[in-house]
Amino acid sequence: MPSLLAQTATEKSTRKVIATVKPQYPAALQHAQIGGLVRLSATVLPNGTVSKVQIRGGNPILAESAVAAVMKWKYAPAPTETSEEISLSFSPH
């Protein structure tokens, strides 16, 4: 049943986040009052670790910082790999 597994891997999930890491706000962007929303898609393994993060939108420099942080997040264990949609907001204020 490989096709069923492939479907499960891309299923949108609402897994509980156990631990988050706040992204670094690049000082130059914060000083220049540049902020915004970064949209990401994270692949989370059954044990809750993030294996891959894809950028879906937002400022590329802020997105790099967001990806580095989300790679350190920890999710609740689940029976299968899941895909999590994440939005992080950077506000210079």
Write a three-state SS string for the chain. CHHHHHHHHCCECCCCEEECCCCCCCHHHHHCCCCEEEEEEEEECCCCEEEEEEEEECCHHHHHHHHHHHCCCEECCCCCCEEEEEEEEECCC
Which residue segment(s) compose the domain that 76 sits in? 2-90
Confidence of residue 7 (pLDDT cuts 50, 70, 90): very low
CA-to-CA distance for 59 and 46, rounded, in angstroms?
30
**Does the pLDDT at position 1 exceed 90?**
no
Distance between CA 6 and CA 48 in Å, rounded?
18
Are residues 75 and 50 in contact, defined by beta-carbon separation less than 8 angstroms? yes
Confidence of residue 9 (pLDDT cuts 50, 70, 90): very low
CATH number of the domain encompassing residue 83? 3.30.2420.10
pLDDT higher than threshold 80 for residue 12? no
pLDDT surpasses 80 at 15: yes
Number of domains forming the structure of the chain: 1
Query: Residue 12 is encoded by which pair of tokens?
Result: 């949108």
